[in-house]
Amino acid sequence: MIDRDTIDRIYAAADIVEVINDYVTLKRKGVNYQACCPFHNEKTPSFVVSPSKGLYKCFGCGKGGNAVSFVMEHENITYPEALKIVAKKYGIEVKESEQSEEDVIRNNNRESMFMLNSWASDYFANTLHNTDEGISIGLSYFRQARGFSESTIKKFGLGVCPSGGDKMTQDALRAGYKEEFLLSTGLTLKREEDGRLYDRFRERVMFPVHNVSGRIVAFGGRTLRTDKKVAKYQNSPESEIYSKKNEIYGLFFAKKAIQQQNYAIMVEGYTDVISMHQSGVENVVASSGTSLTTEQIRLLARFTKNITVMYDGDSAGQHASLRGIDMILKEGLNVRVVLLPAEDDPDSFARSHSAEEVRNYVAQNSTDFITYKAKLLLADAGNDPIKRSEVVKDMVQSIAEIPDAIQRSLYIKECAVLMNIAEDVLLREVERMRMRSLGDREAEEFVNRESRRYWQRKEDDKPTSEEGEHFGNLTIGSSLEIIERELIYYLVVHGTKNYEFREGRNMIPLNVADTIIDEMSMDDMRFSNSAYNKIYDLYRSARESGRVVTPDELASHTDIEVCDAATDLLFIDDQYAMSEIWTKKEVHTTTEEEVLGKGVPKAILLFKTKAVLGMLAELQTKLQDESLSEEDQLEIMSKMVQLNRLKVKLARKTNRQTI
């Protein structure tokens, strides 16, 4: 358990813009910041961060919360784990009470695997620096063959897995790590014939793979043996904490430089990344030695929309660069290609050039994908008309992937000149390709745009009226959903505030939260929205124990349904909510207290009225069931009598107020 004082210090220190900016590139827009949401795929930013409120909210997918809940959601980890990550960022020592045996047992598999990987990384590094085998083989390779400095070796956590078959495994078991996690992380393998355990990475130099927040999720191991029967690289298998398609090697070390320079250089291998970083060019990442995936592109897109693909200058390298281009374009990113001299790869080029020389080379030799791809494919096709026709089709396919219409138009013009073909022919082919392969995308984008009209959404199966559906403008015709939202808004945002309610000629001082809880309890009312019920129950139980529920407590609640609903409410612009309420009804109020004095009683009255009408309709439907016993019928009729009395009572109140 993390004590309350430490939690309070973490929240006090955490700057939500700084925390989220480690994962997503935020851009200021007015008093807030915006980005494309990291929790769902979108082209138009609907993810908003409010520094003044300390909250984030996506108006596309609905997710929201504070700095800690963002880390929870993004890393898929527990609340205590997220607190520790934020605390580490701000240098706050986290003190925990001693864990009981039951607490240890409850530790989930993910955390155990992360802990084991962290131990293994330290173990490999220690073997590299403090054993004869590590020094003579591993350090010799890193320093002499690769030219890595000591600081570079430590920065990337490079190491060696010893020989001996099972030495690392046995050392891990002696250190208290369980066999099941050695197997699930892939650090250890088990022979089927006799059940013996052995090291997956034995006799290999080691490259830890960090996720975007810096935790070690996997390893890559390179053999130094010349035996061709032995695989050059061995990688960790897929696991609960590692999915190869979702990780980009080096992103943790490169993300700040990528944000600063607003572009990323994509290379192929571990040593390519490390050598580039050592040369001083740090906005470099690799696709972990695998084919580029959509998930990797989307992860990178959180930090920049500009990618420069750098590959070897040989023919294989040139054609390899084409495989990922269409995927990058499809995600709406800008892509350029830079080819190195034929004798170089990114590793050797970085080792033989300074940072300034590397950057200048990239700036002077990178070309947009159309020019690059067209020239490369046309050179292969020569004068063969059939092959040239295939090149045109290939180019059309690439251009059709671009979501931006203006960019498509510009590339069509450029492509027409390069391939000596009529522009209108290319245009027709591109549009035909988009209609055939991307027909559903426009509909999907339309739905996403409409979903961002968050506070004006209505249920598809409910009739709506032009008046009464706007926040702060409730009428008898407003839907139950709208009324409930406004009532719970008053509880969450203004629950601690007081107002004066006019009863005849008297002004009665009331508290917002007390009023709502008392009125709901009096008639045993519940919300139809489950999240609102949970929030209401938190306030009610807090009042019974003599404490106050804070908005921050709701925004960081471990129940994601509560967290999302509370963030929705807290993200309503306070100025709009307080100034626009009543103005459409031409009731001019000057203070927040006056607004609450009118708004809270009105919302309670309309909620009760709507709820009672709904319950009566439900009971009336039940009463029509011919299979009901006489006893059940009498019970339903008795409830209906009580509800009708309440309905009359509410109607009288309604007639006394301007609704």
Work out the number of other CB atoms within 10 angstroms of the CB of residue 459.
Answer: 10
Confidence of residue 437 (pLDDT cuts 50, 70, 90): low
Q: What is the 3-state secondary structure (H, E, C) of 540-559?
A: HHHHHCCCCCCHHHHHCCCC
Question: Does the pLDDT at position 462 exceed 80?
Answer: no
Query: What average pLDDT score do residues 606-629 get?
Result: 83
What local confidence, expressed as pLDDT, does residue 447 receive? 36
What local confidence, expressed as pLDDT, does residue 161 receive? 96
- Burial of residue 624 (CB within 10 Å: 0-12, 13-18, 19+) is exposed
Chain-centre distance for alpha carbon 280: 30
pLDDT tens-digit profile of 362-381? 999 888 887 888 888 888 78
Q: Tell me if the pTM is above 0.85.
A: no
DSSP 137: I
Question: Does the pLDDT at position 472 exceed 80?
Answer: no
Query: What average pLDDT score do residues 493-503 get?
Result: 80
Question: Does the pLDDT at position 542 exceed 50?
Answer: yes
Highest mean pLDDT, choosing among 174-178, 458-462, 493-497, 651-655: 174-178
Helix, coil or strand: residue 197: strand
What local confidence, expressed as pLDDT, does residue 359 receive? 92
Query: What average pLDDT score do residues 230-254 get?
Result: 91
Question: Does the pLDDT at position 355 exceed 70?
Answer: yes
Quote the CA–CA distance of 587 and 202 in Å, as a whole number: 78
Query: What average pLDDT score do residues 33-41 get?
Result: 88
Confidence of residue 451 (pLDDT cuts 50, 70, 90): very low
Contacts of 205 (CB under 8 A, 6+ apart): 128, 137, 138, 141, 142, 158, 159, 160, 221, 222, 224
Two tokens, residue 515: 């009023």
Quote the CA–CA distance of 16 and 520 in Å, as a whole number: 35
Query: What average pLDDT score do residues 316-327 get?
Result: 68
**Which stretch of 238-247, 342-351, 435-444, 579-588 has the lowest confidence by average pLDDT?**
579-588
Two tokens, residue 3: 């004590």
Contact 161, 201 (CB under 8 A): yes
Quote the CA–CA distance of 329 and 325 in Å, as a whole number: 6
What local confidence, expressed as pLDDT, does residue 475 receive? 66
Q: Which has more pLDDT, 364 or 405?
A: 364
Domains of the chain: 4-102 (3.90.580.10), 108-242 (3.90.980.10), 243-365 (3.40.1360.10), 377-441 (no CATH), 480-656 (no CATH)
Quote the CA–CA distance of 160 and 139 in Å, as a whole number: 9
